[in-house]
């Protein structure tokens, strides 16, 4: 029955939420009792467009900040003209079992175009000729007394030991004392890795030159070695990414010099400070397949504090998206608040103290970009301008200080504040990016617009506007898994204990943190969240911090629908629109087909051509997977206008591509996808299982869309016929779901990608309802693949185990995902996901996976507590979303369901299941329905 009493429903809802909120509020903070030491200790804030990492030091506070459209590269055509002419030959080779030959041909003729490189030969000639440096640093009598020193080696690059923003030519010098018994003997100079090219001299003579990743072990002829002091001089040429003398990744292995026939342990270690001198910082541009996301700048606050620091705490309140730093010095209590305001498009930092005239500091802007500059813009504002190297994008940031009492001035391009009662800093940023084809914008415009919005408002008004806008997303979902007492521990200590203790509330916090990160990195009107969300501090970030579309970009948006953040899909959907345009050109040039295609990576400029290497870069189902997100949005919301005007046109074009692309397998007669690969595993192949699952789902969804919209009946008929001909899922000789068309799975393969289980999650190609035997085979595949994995892979496996209805196994992986990342997978101090290094997808996938333990709706009914772990026996959740347009609240205790509060958004018939109980009932749009643990009204 339906409850007609609106008062009753409201009363139940309010009382339920009140209990949940009281429990939540004590468990929705990340907090620490010491400042951040590393970037992955710092706390993230963001408004979708601007992101910042707050370090929260007392005397010196560091805020590293980004703007979402500052990338390398420029608008260009990524497609290789006429690549389709080689498609038939590549397919032929694959059908003949000649995988390597197919990969060689594809690498040569089928990969995307790289950006234009600079003139490396000319630059090297200049560097060898000594341009930019006085004298000859290779000579034994060269005077290097004024040179600085740097730690050698640095396997992660000289960027980690003091040369943060350097690419180019750098000279290194050191000496060693050769003992008498080395006289007349050849020596080995063992340096292992140098990035990227070296010219290595001993006593003024060249003994080695290598360009690339090969290990450096140079023989020094006996005639060059002198008893006593000898000079080693190395000119290192670094073109891109990390530079310098890298040595061994295993730091227990030393670089050094020793006699031929002996070992480095018997020689002289060269692990020590070396002298260095920068010769040139402008190496030629390196050809790139795609662009990289860039950091913008740094804000450094230097406070005039004297005295002992007590009561220190830094925190991030997920309920308000405000980071805080609190501490006491000399009896004065100081508070800093940091937030990224969407209404005012500013990073806001509010400084206060409980004693007047206590705040004195200088505020300075800087940037890693070599082409950057600071200037004063009045007595309380400074600006930072940046230009991305070898790219089209430039940016401007502004910092404005508004004070209560005290004095403010700009001195030496820094803002100086003396004896203020309160200070509010507004940090803004903008670039010249307008869209992927247009970079004619004015970088100053965003700053001017943002600062105009704060001039007539108090800091309290700006804070309240920020909270109201943020909570319009955040407050739609509430979760309480109970308290354990661990809430009283700093987050880093709680993280250390989670794997071996009972702390279900920490998993609830992780869910809300995932939602917080998505709200902070993907607001309507912004770019979608990339591999690192919106947070990056490196000029050459891991994997370019771009969009990897064979799992990672999609995983970022897994929580959006189920965790009641549907509106945050808008940046993703806008991106899909842009990719469909470039992907249409790629489909024509590479496959001579209609429709659109996307391979395994894209960037700000919407590149869709295959990149990197042919053994993993030619993967054709990116557009089809992204189309799944379009369909899921309709499935959750029932928005037919969206389906008609946005989703279906894009889905149809993706389906048109596969209608033309699929080819009959000469061995089986099935339609298969080729050339392609099972992402990053097994090389270029014909007929990977994942492709067929995704394509089959795309066709199924398009068929459903045409029926709902009453359009394209002829196209529907074509898809219905072809869908039946696509190669089916197959069970192999080990009882596993086959990853490829051939039964060649290796049960010892522990690869991080488990792509052939896409049909289990996020897809619904394989379900308990439709094919229990195939589900068992998929489960067997996952058992063979094992639990150990990188961060995002752990998150994916959590979702798999949820769909397999094994909550305890999923909980085991949750604990693996939420363990300290000590050079491996897990979570960093700030709970960022460790691939490693940091990738944000694991945060999002993990949050979605915990939701999947509580509620599933992919089989045509709402499945209540389908995989509840024994370690989460009690719970109170509201705002979970289910397909069919339902919002669900659940209360359970002792591992058993107590009550359900369901709201119908569009008046669809509701089917619900809990254990062996099932119910089906009609609903009205806007109606609310309360059921007990027996699924009775």
- Find residue 172's DSSP bridge partners: 234, 276
pLDDT per residue as tens digits for the range 737-749: 999 999 999 999 9
Position 165 confidence tier, pLDDT thresholds 50, 70, 90: confident
Superfamily of domain 120-280: Galactose-binding domain-like (2.60.120.260)
Q: Specify whether the CB–CB gap between 524 and 765 falls below 8 A.
A: no
With both helix axes pointing from N to C terminus, report the angle between 622-637 and 648-661 in degrees, rounded to the nearest 10. 140
466-477: b or e for each residue (b if 16 or more CB lie within 10 Å)?
bbebbeebbebb
Q: Specify whether the CB–CB gap between 220 and 188 falls below 8 A.
A: yes
Tokens of 660: 């033309």
pLDDT per residue as tens digits for the range 593-625: 999 999 999 999 999 999 999 999 999 999 999
CB-neighbour burial class of residue 920 (10 A; exposed 0-12, middle 13-18, buried 19+) = exposed
Continuous H helices in 136-182: none
- Find residue 366's DSSP bridge partners: 298
Q: Specify whether the CB–CB gap between 608 and 579 falls below 8 A.
A: yes
pLDDT at 6 over 50: no
What's the pLDDT score for residue 26? 56
Share of the chain above pLDDT 90, in %: 95
Please compute, for residue 348, the number of CA atoms within 13 A of its CA located in the half-sphere on the CB side: 30
Nearest partner of 874 among 23, 30, 12, judged by Cα:
23
What's the pLDDT score for residue 8? 32
Residue 432's contacts (CB-CB under 8 Å, 6 or more residues apart) are 392, 393, 394, 395, 439, 440, 441, 442, 443
pLDDT per residue as tens digits for the range 421-431: 999 999 999 99
Question: What fold is seen in the domain 486-859?
Answer: Glycosyltransferase (1.50.10)
Helix or strand holding residue 715 (H, E): helix 713-725
For residue 914, report the phi and psi dihedrals to the nearest 5 degrees.
-140, 115
Q: What is the distance between the alpha carbons of residues 242 and 238, in angstroms, rounded to a whole number?
A: 8
Q: Distance of CA 35 to CAs 38, 99, 520, 829, Å? A: 9, 53, 22, 11
Q: What is the distance between the alpha carbons of residues 692 and 730, in angstroms, rounded to a whole number?
A: 11
- Tracing tokens 């009045």 back to the chain, one arrives at 378
Q: What is the distance between the alpha carbons of residues 245 and 208, in angstroms, rounded to a whole number?
A: 14
Q: Distance of CA 771 to CAs 682, 760, 765, 859, 866, Å? A: 27, 11, 9, 11, 17
pLDDT at 395 over 70: yes
Q: What is the distance between the alpha carbons of residues 426 and 428, in angstroms, rounded to a whole number?
A: 6
Q: Distance of CA 24 to CAs 18, 111, 170, 306, 515, Å? A: 10, 51, 54, 38, 14
- Tracing tokens 């004590």 back to the chain, one arrives at 26
Q: What is the distance between the alpha carbons of residues 670 and 682, in angstroms, rounded to a whole number?
A: 21
What's the pLDDT score for residue 3? 31
Residue 145's contacts (CB-CB under 8 Å, 6 or more residues apart) are none
Tokens of 899: 């009550």
Position 164 confidence tier, pLDDT thresholds 50, 70, 90: confident
Q: What is the distance between the alpha carbons of residues 17 and 744, in angstroms, rounded to a whole number?
A: 52
What's the pLDDT score for residue 9? 35
Q: Specify whether the CB–CB gap between 86 and 315 falls below 8 A.
A: no
Continuous H helices in 475-527: 491-498, 504-521
pLDDT at 22 over 60: no
For residue 437, the SS3 value is: coil
- Give me the DSSP letters along 396-421: EEEEEEEEESSEEEEETTEEEEEEES
Q: How far is CA 756 from the centre of its chain?
A: 22
Position 24 confidence tier, pLDDT thresholds 50, 70, 90: very low
Helix or strand holding residue 149 (H, E): strand 148-152
Residue 548: how many other CB atoms lie within 10 Å = 23
For residue 297, report the phi and psi dihedrals to the nearest 5 degrees.
-170, -170
Residue 588's contacts (CB-CB under 8 Å, 6 or more residues apart) are 84
| Torsion from C-alpha of 75, 600, 533, 799, nearest 10 degrees | 160
Q: What is the mean pLDDT of residues 172-201?
A: 97
pLDDT at 541 over 80: yes
- Give me the DSSP letters along 337-371: EEEEETTTTEEEEEEEESSTT-EEEEEEEE-S-SE
Nearest partner of 752 among 685, 822, 827, 841, judged by Cα:
841
Check: CATH 3.10.105.10 for 33-73+290-475? Answer: no
The residue extents of the domains of the chain are: 33-73+290-475, 120-280, 486-859
Nearest partner of 869 among 888, 854, 882, judged by Cα:
854
- Give me the DSSP letters along 49-118: SEEEEE---SSEEEEEEEETT-BS--S---PPTTGGGGHHHHHHHHHTT-HHHHHHHHHHHSSPPPPPP-
Indicate the range of 303-307, 569-573, 713-717, 792-796 predicted with least confidence. Answer: 303-307
pLDDT per residue as tens digits for the range 228-263: 999 999 999 999 999 999 999 999 999 999 999 999
pLDDT per residue as tens digits for the range 336-390: 999 999 999 999 999 999 999 999 999 999 999 999 999 999 999 999 999 999 9
Position 14 confidence tier, pLDDT thresholds 50, 70, 90: very low
Residue 749: how many other CB atoms lie within 10 Å = 12
Provide the total of helices (H) and of strands (E) in the chain, helices listed first. Answer: 21, 44
pLDDT at 755 over 70: yes
For residue 181, report the phi and psi dihedrals to the nearest 5 degrees.
-75, 0
Length of the chain (residues): 937
pLDDT per residue as tens digits for the range 269-327: 999 999 999 999 999 999 999 999 999 999 999 999 989 999 999 999 999 999 999 99
What's the pLDDT score for residue 833? 98
What's the pLDDT score for residue 909? 97
pLDDT per residue as tens digits for the range 675-727: 999 999 999 999 999 999 999 999 999 999 999 999 999 999 999 999 999 99
Nearest partner of 581 among 600, 606, 602, 559, judged by Cα:
606
What's the pLDDT score for residue 808? 98
Q: What is the mean pLDDT of residues 849-875?
A: 98
Predicted model pTM:
0.94
Q: What is the distance between the alpha carbons of residues 369 and 298, in angstroms, rounded to a whole number?
A: 11
Q: What is the mean pLDDT of residues 20-36?
A: 76
Q: What is the distance between the alpha carbons of residues 850 and 798, in angstroms, rounded to a whole number?
A: 8
More confident residue, 89 or 823: 89
- Tracing tokens 């501490």 back to the chain, one arrives at 327
Q: Specify whether the CB–CB gap between 298 and 281 falls below 8 A.
A: no
């Amino acid at each position: 029955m339906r409850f007609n009493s609106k008062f009753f429903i409201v009363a139940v809802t309010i009382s339920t939420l009140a209990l949940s909120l009281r429990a939540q509020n004590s468990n929705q903070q990340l907090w620490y009792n010491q400042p951040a030491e590393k970037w992955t200790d710092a706390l993230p804030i963001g408004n979708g467009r601007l992101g910042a990492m707050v370090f929260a030091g007392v005397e010196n506070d560091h805020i590293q900040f980004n703007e979402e459209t500052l990338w390398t590269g420029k608008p260009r055509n990524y497609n290789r003209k006429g690549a389709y002419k080689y498609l038939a030959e590549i397919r032929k080779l694959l059908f003949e079992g000649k995988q390597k030959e197919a990969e060689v041909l594809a690498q040569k003729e089928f990969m995307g175009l790289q950006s234009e490189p600079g003139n490396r030969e000319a630059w090297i000639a200049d560097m060898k000729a000594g341009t930019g440096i006085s004298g000859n640093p290779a000579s034994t009598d060269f005077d290097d007394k004024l040179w600085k020193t740097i730690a050698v080696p640095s396997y992660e690059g000289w960027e980690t030991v003091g040369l943060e923003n350097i690419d180019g030519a750098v000279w290194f010098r050191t000496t060693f004392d050769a003992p008498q018994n080395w006289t007349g003997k050849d020596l080995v100079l063992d340096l292992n890795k140098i990035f990227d090219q070296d010219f290595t001299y001993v006593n003024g003579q060249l003994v080695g030159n290598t360009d690339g990743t090969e290990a450096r072990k140079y023989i020094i002829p006996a005639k060059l070695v002198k008893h006593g002091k000898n000079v080693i001089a190395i000119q290192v040429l670094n073109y891109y990414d990390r530079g310098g003398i890298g040595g061994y990744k295993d730091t227990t292995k030393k670089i050094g010099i020793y006699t031929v026939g002996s070992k480095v342990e018997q020689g002289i270690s060269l692990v020590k400070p070396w002298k260095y001198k920068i010769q040139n910082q402008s190496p030629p541009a390196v050809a790139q397949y795609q662009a990289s996301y860039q950091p913008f700048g740094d804000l450094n606050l230097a406070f005039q504090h004297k005295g002992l620091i007590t009561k220190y705490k830094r925190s991030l309140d997920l309920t308000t998206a405000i980071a805080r730093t609190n501490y006491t010095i000399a009896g004065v209590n100081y508070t800093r608040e940091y937030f990224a305001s969407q209404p005012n498009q500013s990073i806001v930092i509010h400084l206060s103290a409980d004693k007047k005239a206590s705040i004195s500091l200088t505020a300075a802007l800087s940037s890693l970009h070599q082409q950057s500059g600071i200037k004063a813009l009045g007595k309380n504002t400074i600006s930072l301008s940046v230009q991305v190297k070898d790219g089209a994008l430039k940016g401007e940031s502004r910092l404005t200080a508004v004070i209560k009492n005290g004095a403010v001035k700009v001195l030496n391009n820094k803002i100086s504040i003396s004896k203020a009662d309160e200070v509010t800093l507004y940090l803004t940023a903008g670039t010249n990016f307008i869209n992927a084809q247009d970079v004619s914008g004015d970088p100053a415009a965003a700053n001017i617009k943002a600062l105009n919005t704060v001039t007539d408002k108090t800091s309290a008004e700006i804070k309240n506007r920020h909270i109201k806008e943020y909570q319009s997303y955040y407050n739609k979902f509430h979760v309480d898994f109970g308290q354990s007492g661990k809430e009283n521990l700093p987050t880093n200590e709680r993280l250390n204990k989670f794997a071996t203790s009972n702390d279900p509330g920490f998993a609830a916090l992780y869910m809300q943190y995932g939602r917080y990160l998505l709200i902070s990195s993907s607001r309507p009107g912004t770019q979608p969240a990339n591999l690192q969300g919106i947070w990056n501090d490196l000029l050459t970030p891991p994997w370019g911090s771009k969009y990897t579309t064979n799992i990672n970009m999609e995983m970022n948006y897994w929580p959006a629908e189920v965790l009641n953040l549907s509106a945050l899909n808008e940046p993703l959907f806008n991106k899909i629109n842009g990719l469909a345009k470039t992907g249409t050109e790629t489909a024509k040039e590479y496959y001579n087909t209609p429709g659109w295609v996307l391979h395994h990576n894209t960037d700000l400029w919407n590149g869709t051509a295959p990149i990197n290497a042919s053994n993993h870069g030619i993967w054709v189902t990116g557009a089809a997977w992204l189309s799944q997100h379009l369909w899921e949005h309709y499935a959750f919301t029932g928005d037919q206008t969206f389906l008609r005007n946005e989703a279906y046109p894009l889905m149809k074009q993706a389906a048109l591509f596969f209608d033309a692309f699929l080819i009959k397998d000469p061995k089986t007669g099935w339609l298969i996808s080729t050339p392609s690969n099972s992402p990053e595993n097994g090389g270029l192949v014909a007929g990977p299982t994942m492709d067929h699952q995704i394509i089959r789902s795309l066709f199924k969804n398009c068929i459903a869309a045409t029926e709902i919209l009453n359009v394209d009946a002829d196209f529907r008929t074509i898809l219905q016929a072809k869908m039946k001909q696509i190669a089916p899922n197959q069970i192999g000789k080990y009882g596993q779901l086959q990853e490829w068309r051939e039964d060649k799975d290796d049960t010892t393969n522990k690869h991080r990608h488990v792509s052939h289980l896409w049909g289990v999650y996020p897809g619904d190609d394989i379900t308990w309802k439709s094919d229990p035997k195939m589900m068992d085979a998929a489960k067997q595949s996952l058992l063979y693949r094992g639990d150990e994995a990188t961060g995002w892979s752990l998150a994916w496996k959590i979702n798999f185990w949820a769909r397999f209805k094994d909550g305890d196994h999923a909980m085991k992986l949750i604990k693996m995902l939420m363990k300290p990342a000590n050079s491996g997978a897990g979570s960093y101090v700030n709970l960022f996901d460790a691939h490693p290094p940091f990738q944000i997808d694991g945060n999002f996938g993990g949050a979605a996976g915990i939701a999947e333990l509580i509620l599933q709706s992919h089989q045509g009914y709402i499945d209540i507590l389908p995989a509840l772990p024994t370690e989460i026996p009690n719970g109170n959740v509201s705002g979970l979303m289910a397909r069919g347009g339902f919002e669900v609240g659940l209360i359970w205790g002792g591992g058993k369901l107590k009550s359900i509060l369901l709201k119908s958004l569009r008046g669809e018939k509701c089917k619900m299941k809990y254990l062996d109980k099932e119910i089906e009932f009609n609903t009205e749009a806007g109606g609310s329905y309360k059921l007990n643990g027996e699924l009775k009204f």
